[in-house]
Amino acid sequence: MPEVVSNRLDREFYQYQKEFEEKALEVLRSGWYVLGKEVQAFETEFASYTGSRYCAGVASGLDALWIAFRVLGIGEGDEVIVQSNTYIASVMGITINGATPVFVEPDEYFNIDVSKIEEKITDRTKAVLVVHLYGQASNMEPVRKLCRKYRLRLVEDCAQSHGAKDGGKMTGAFGDIGCFSFYPSKNLGAFGDAGAIVTDDEKIAEDVKVFRNYGSEKRYYNKVVGTNSRLDELQAGLLRVKLSHMEEITAEKRAIAENYTKGITNPCILLPKVREGADSVWHQYVVRCKERDRLAEYLKERQIGTIIHYPIPPHLSEAYRHLGFQKGDFPIAEAYADEVLSLPIYNGITKEEQDYVIKALNEFS
């Protein structure tokens, strides 16, 4: 059996190789490389895909997040509610602007526990950042109600949830702003760094477009101190190719997840649950195991790569030591950090490889 690595990105490239190569050459020969017609076309197509009115491409998912809070005017002295088991970039999107993250524990689906949000709202709370973690849509209706009731902004971190729906509606379209990453390993991945925001608010979309380009609407007339977070033509063009295959890409991930869910029967291994009414695009297939480290080591000996998403919850990260949290403050997130393990799930993983992973897991004791 060949090695099954945790993520092989070249497999998806080869699935659509000809289209990628043609598009890359087209852009290279065009003589226009940053913010041009490919970016514009991608923005139109991605807005339509997510069911939002507007899209603005930026340079990464982290940029999408912090620029979102920046244009909403959320910063110093403000609090933003976010789940305690997220990837640290979600939290950095808040703190780069000087705002304070207020953590809420996750539910059994690894998403924010909506029943625990209201108790964390103070007069400093300005927004809720919902992260659709591992590809599964969060429970949005109760969050929307709370945001309306307390007049809070709702921002979605959709870096892992391209195409995932809650109640039939796509993630990114629920809040004031949906933030996407197109980092290569994401479900819609570029061949380098890229990101975008989607919104129904024309002013927000315009503000982001101004901010990403040094704060200028018209060349050399700078309205605000912005940043350089432009999306380039090559990435946008290649993303358009992938976006046109998104249905197959998502269907393939769902089939892999289904195979794992059906095949893994070892009682030591807890399988991921999907909430009723929600769906998952399976950015990750995350199992839990009391003996996670031993399981990872066991799989490694059998040439099966796994990743831990994430071993240290943000509140215990060295980067956030100044926030003053301690071990025990968010026990659910901490338990997840000790127990979660992401199995290999990527487009192009063969059935034989999947079944090899399943067999190894079922033989673990």
Q: Shortest approach of ligand PLP to residue 219 CB, angstroms?
A: 27
* Chain residue whose CB lies nearest ligand PLP: 61
Q: Of 82, 121, 123, 15, which Cα lies nearest the Cα of 349? A: 15
Least distance in angstroms from the C-beta of 138 to ligand PLP: 12
Nearest to 199 by CA among 15, 10, 64: 64
Pick the binder of ligand PLP from 43, 107, 157, 176 (CB under 6 A). Answer: 157
Q: Which of 171, 205, 228 is nearest to 72 (CA)?
A: 205
Residue 60 binding ligand PLP, by CB under 6 A: yes
Among 55, 131, 143, 231, binds ligand PLP (CB under 6 A): 131
Query: Which of these segments, 31-39, 120-128, 153-161, 294-302, binds ligand PLP (CB under 6 A)?
Result: 153-161
Q: Which of 61, 178, 226, 272 binds ligand PLP (CB under 6 A)?
A: 61
Q: Name the minimum Å distance from CB 226 to ligand PLP.
A: 18
Please tell me whether residue 174 adopts helix, strand or coil conformation. coil
Applying CB under 6 A, the span of 9-17, 60-68, 163-171, 320-328 interacting with ligand PLP comes to 60-68
Least spacing, CB of residue 342 vs ligand PLP, in Å: 12
Taking CB under 6 A as the rule, does residue 85 contact ligand PLP? no
Q: How many residues at the interface with ligand PLP, by CB under 6 A? A: 15
**Of 82, 102, 137, 159, which lies in the binding site for ligand PLP, with binding defined by CB under 6 A?**
159
User: Quick one: 161 exposed, middle or buried, by C-beta within 10 A (0-12, 13-18, 19+)?
Assistant: buried
Task: Indicate the residue among 117 and 131 with the shorter CB distance to ligand PLP.
Answer: 131
What residues does 341 pair with on adjacent strands? 287
Which residues have C-beta within 8 Å of that of residue 186, sequence separation ≥ 6? 61, 159, 160, 162, 283
**What's the min distance (Å) between Cβ of 59 and ligand PLP?**
8
- Taking CA atoms, 249 is separated from 38, 111, 173, 245, in Å, by 21, 23, 21, 6
Which one of residues 47, 56, 62, 170 is an interface residue with ligand PLP (CB under 6 A)? Answer: 62
The distance of closest approach from Cβ of residue 96 to ligand PLP in the complex, given in angstroms and rounded to an integer, is: 12
Give the separation between CA 190 and CA 348, rounded to whole angstroms.
Answer: 16
Q: Any contact of residue 137 with ligand PLP (CB under 6 A)? A: no
* Contact (Cβ atoms closer than 8 angstroms) between residue 35 and residue 46: no
In the bound state with ligand PLP, the residue whose beta carbon lies nearer, of 93 and 344, is 93
- Which positions ≥6 away from 265 have C-beta within 8 Å? 362
3-state class of 198 per DSSP? Answer: strand
SS (H, E, C) 55-95: EEEECCHHHHHHHHHHHCCCCCCCEEEEECCCCHHHHHHHH
The span of 41-49, 55-63, 217-225, 313-321 binding ligand PLP (CB under 6 A) equals 55-63
Q: Please report how close the Cβ of residue 60 comes to ligand PLP at its closest, in angstroms.
A: 4
Contacting ligand PLP (CB under 6 A), which of 83, 90, 199, 306? 90
Q: Please report how close the Cβ of residue 88 comes to ligand PLP at its closest, in angstroms.
A: 8
Per rule CB under 6 A, is residue 160 in the interface with ligand PLP? yes
- Which of 351, 349, 313 lies closest to 330, judged by CA? 313
Return the residue of 195, 237, 314, 344 that touches ligand PLP, per CB under 6 A. Answer: 195
**Nearer CB in complex with ligand PLP: 176/193:** 193
Q: Where are the beta strands (DSSP E) in the chain?
A: 54-58, 79-83, 100-104, 125-131, 153-157, 165-166, 169-170, 177-181, 195-199, 216-218, 221-222, 285-288, 340-343
Strands 153-157 and 125-131: parallel
Tell me how many degrees the CA angle 305-335-6 measures, rounded to the nearest 5: 10
What is the binding site for ligand PLP (CB under 6 A)?
A: 60-62, 86-87, 89-90, 131, 157, 159-160, 181, 183, 193, 195
